[in-house]
Amino acid sequence: MTTKHSLTVLLLIILSCGQEQNAKQPEPLPIVGTWKLISAITIKEDSTISSDLSNRSMIKIINASHFAFLNHDLNEGKDSLAFFASGGGKYNLENNKYTEYLEYCNFRNWEGNTFEFTVEVRGDTLIQSGIEKVDEADVDHKIIETYIRFN
């Protein structure tokens, strides 16, 4: 075998190995975008509570490295249902494991906490579920949130 022929064979082997590795890596979930909350379920011990979203609106914005959420009542804070919440920070996504590092929140005792979720994207729907545990706020429950892509 000539040196030129040996180098060609070696190059083909290296290229085919690289293609095989790329083929094995799963594609990242398409979570980047703006999402509107359409369903929120909280499970604590034996109780399951479905949140009434008829008087509230929440969006979650996810870019390549950070997330943010904004949640407020729909009556401009003018009645007993007045509510506003916001927060954000960095996140990490590995396969369907989505971890939020809450750096900013108007409920300050939530800041500095890490939340691990499982996410699933089906078309224009994002489903996020996991445990929210914040000792300082006496919070320890599972959430299941469903969002639709918001343009």
Provide the mean pLDDT of the chain: 88
Tell me the two tokens of residue 115. Answer: 């939340």
Asked whether the beta carbons of 73 and 91 are under 8 A apart, the reply is no
Provide the pLDDT confidence category of residue 151 given band limits of 50, 70 and 90.
Answer: confident
How many whole angstroms separate alpha carbon 59 and alpha carbon 36?
4
Distances (CA, A) of 26 to 30, 88, 99: 12, 27, 18
- As a whole number of angstroms, the longest Cα–Cα distance in the chain is 86
Which domains are delineated in the chain?
33-149 (2.40.128.490)
Tens-place pLDDT, residues 18-50: 554 555 666 667 999 999 999 999 999 999 999
pTM value is 0.79
Tens-place pLDDT, residues 65-91: 999 999 999 998 888 889 999 999 999
Q: What phi, psi does 116 have (nearest 5°)?
A: -105, 130
